[in-house]
Structure 1
Amino acid sequence: MRHVLVTGAAGGIGRAIAAQFAAQGAVLTLADRDRAPLDDLAAHLAATASATGVLTADLTAADAPEELVRRAWAARGPVDVLVNAAGVYPSLDMAELTAEAWDRLFAVNLRAPVLATAAYARLAAARGEGGTVVNISSGSALRARPGGGPYASSKAALEMATRAAALELGAHGIRVNAVSPGFVPVDSACNPVSEQYAAAIGANPLGRPGSPEDIARAVRWIAGPEASWITGEILRVDGGSGTGALHLPRIWPPATGPADAPARPATSAPADATKGHPA
């Protein structure tokens, strides 16, 4: 059975990821900051996982990611799959940003998964049997929002780091991919989201928000044998929200519609069309 290390395992998406691998009978190492929710999760998964262990780690510490990987490897044997799911989701306005806030955000969202991947790569390469890394990115990597510039920057950098690691580690049989969720409501004291934000960001072509299980199934798949020739990819699991601006109205009404709808011009655009450009 595969040994899977999941960071951020106590969070909504992290718990779902752990449950997906447990259902396959994996050996699990669950990692997060606090012990109590990890113990609760381990007990919940005990019926399906082959074995489950928990490790606490403060990933803002520079040496914590490598230590975590080494502890997992030593406790339950070689790690076959590393899932970097730990992350923070603060609202930070650029004009009020401090070095401390920026450094903490990047320590968790970028430095920790990169250093964990580096530590994992060294051990997996020495073992000589390959391995798999899955990072959890975000649709924010592609588009900024008010208060989200630092977060978006950390995820954009993580996606490039994912590609770079895939490029270098493929020679050792190590695949590195990322799953990029759209809006997924979770009950989180660490990363709360306002009702107004949820209402504004939730629109997508499929008409519903995502669930932690939607993301977890994608992680399980891309880490599995069905995806054995996939590396360096960013798998967007977002209900289609990344396809475009669904919330914008049409420039012109549809050609067919209610009888009282104004007709769309058949040929030329209006004289002042050059004053704007549809987004």
Structure 2
Amino acid sequence: MRLLEGQVALVTGAGGSIGRGIALRFAEEGAAVAVHCRTAMESAREVASRIQDSGQRAVVLQADLTDEEECHQLVRAAAEWGGGRLTALVNNAGVQPVRQLPGMTAAQWRAVVDTNLASVFACTQAAAEIMRESGGDGEGGGGSVTHIASIEGSAPAPGHAHYSASKAAVVMHARSAALEYGPYGIRVNTVSPGLIDREGLAEAWPEGVRRWHGAAPLGRLGRPKDVGDACAFLASPLASWITGHDLVVDGGVSARPTW
């Protein structure tokens, strides 16, 4: 039996590279997948079509996750599509603009925090309510929630202060949520990726890619599938006693001394 057989999952930001990898990996392991996007409808439809072609169920749902009510509506829509059940949520949607702290406005700060952090709070709150009521996944209790954080949550890069702060907060939200939702059988974890390859990255940032190859003990960039593997594991019965954990997926870069 596949790891996620019979599960109903919602993956936010699944029109993007990492979200696509997560959604496809969940489908490979037997889950029905609600594919969320905000504006990337064409990409999200392509992901859903690939899932359906593989014999699994998928639906595309659109929402602006900077709006709390739209977060709640999205989660309810995914559960309704799933027959009243939602067993897994992956909070992947996020933004990563580059902007130096000097001159950054509060509005620019909030634009990142609202997308990367406030949406995680709202979607998790809505999903947990459904998981408590629907009886969960049959193995891990009420269900699982996985936030996509980043290794920048503990090792910031210049120009990413708002992003790094939001991702550090996402990790702490997961730990807090693990404490408060644990009695209902709901597990909450984070996955912190390193540099994940995408189309055109090597051409757009050759120096960064070169430095990453030199720093990574495993000698390569990450792939969206690597993040999907970690998320599928955390949503599966294999992780039924894992909650409040940050799973780093970075090819070993975090193990390298910084001095």
TM-score (norm: length of structure 2): 0.90
Equivalent residues in 2 for 1:47-196, closer than 5 Å = 47-77=53-83, 78-129=85-136, 130-187=142-199, 194-196=205-207
Q: Which has the higher helix share?
A: 2
Quick check: 2:195–2:221 contact (8 Å CA) kept in 1?
yes
Unaligned runs of 5+ in 1: 249-278
In the TM superposition, residue 194 of structure 1 has moved relative to its aligned partner by 2.8
Distance, in Å, in 2 between the alignment partners of 1:71 and 1:47 is 22
Quick check: 1:25–1:48 contact (8 Å CA) kept in 2?
no
Distance, in Å, in 1 between the alignment partners of 2:244 and 2:200 is 30
Distance, in Å, in 2 between the alignment partners of 1:151 and 1:193 is 20
SS of 1:9's equivalent?
A: coil
Higher relative contact order (CA 8 A, sep 6+): 2
Larger Rg: 1
Distance, in Å, in 1 between the alignment partners of 2:17 and 2:30 is 20
In the TM superposition, residue 108 of structure 1 has moved relative to its aligned partner by 1.0
In the TM superposition, residue 224 of structure 1 has moved relative to its aligned partner by 0.4
In the TM superposition, residue 193 of structure 1 has moved relative to its aligned partner by 5.8
Aligned partner of 2:230 in structure 1 is 218
Aligned partner of 1:24 in structure 2 is 29
Distance, in Å, in 2 between the alignment partners of 1:150 and 1:131 is 30
Write the letter of the residue equivalent to 2:116. N
SS of 1:95's equivalent?
A: coil
Quick check: 1:24–1:49 contact (8 Å CA) kept in 2?
no
Distance, in Å, in 2 between the alignment partners of 1:15 and 1:194 is 22
Quick check: 1:11–1:188 contact (8 Å CA) kept in 2?
no
Write the letter of the residue equivalent to 1:21. F
Write the letter of the residue equivalent to 2:160. G
Aligned partner of 1:261 in structure 2 is none
Aligned partner of 2:208 in structure 1 is 197
Quick check: 2:32–2:58 contact (8 Å CA) kept in 1?
yes
Aligned partner of 1:252 in structure 2 is none
Gap change, CA 1:193 and 1:85, over 3 Å in 2: farther
Quick check: 1:204–1:240 contact (8 Å CA) kept in 2?
yes
Residues 3-56 of structure 1: CA deviation (Å, up to 9, x unaligned): 010001011111111111111221110001122211111111112253111101
Quick check: 1:138–1:155 contact (8 Å CA) kept in 2?
yes
Quick check: 2:113–2:166 contact (8 Å CA) kept in 1?
yes
* Moved segments of 4+, more than 4 Å: none
Across the two proteins, how many residue pairs are aligned to each other? 245
Residues 227-276 of structure 1: CA deviation (Å, up to 9, x unaligned): 1000000000111111133xx7xxxxxxxxxxxxxxxxxxxxxxxxxxxx
In the alignment, structure 1 residue 36 sits paired with structure 2 residue 42:
yes
Write the letter of the residue equivalent to 1:95. P
Write the letter of the residue equivalent to 1:175. R
Quick check: 2:25–2:228 contact (8 Å CA) kept in 1?
yes
Write the letter of the residue equivalent to 1:90. P
Aligned partner of 2:139 in structure 1 is none
Quick check: 2:27–2:56 contact (8 Å CA) kept in 1?
yes
TM-score (norm: length of structure 1): 0.83
Write the letter of the residue equivalent to 1:166. A
In the TM superposition, residue 195 of structure 1 has moved relative to its aligned partner by 2.7
Quick check: 1:85–1:136 contact (8 Å CA) kept in 2?
yes
SS of 1:96's equivalent?
A: coil
Aligned partner of 1:239 in structure 2 is 251
Gap change, CA 1:159 and 1:188, over 3 Å in 2: farther
Distance, in Å, in 1 between the alignment partners of 2:210 and 2:104 is 26
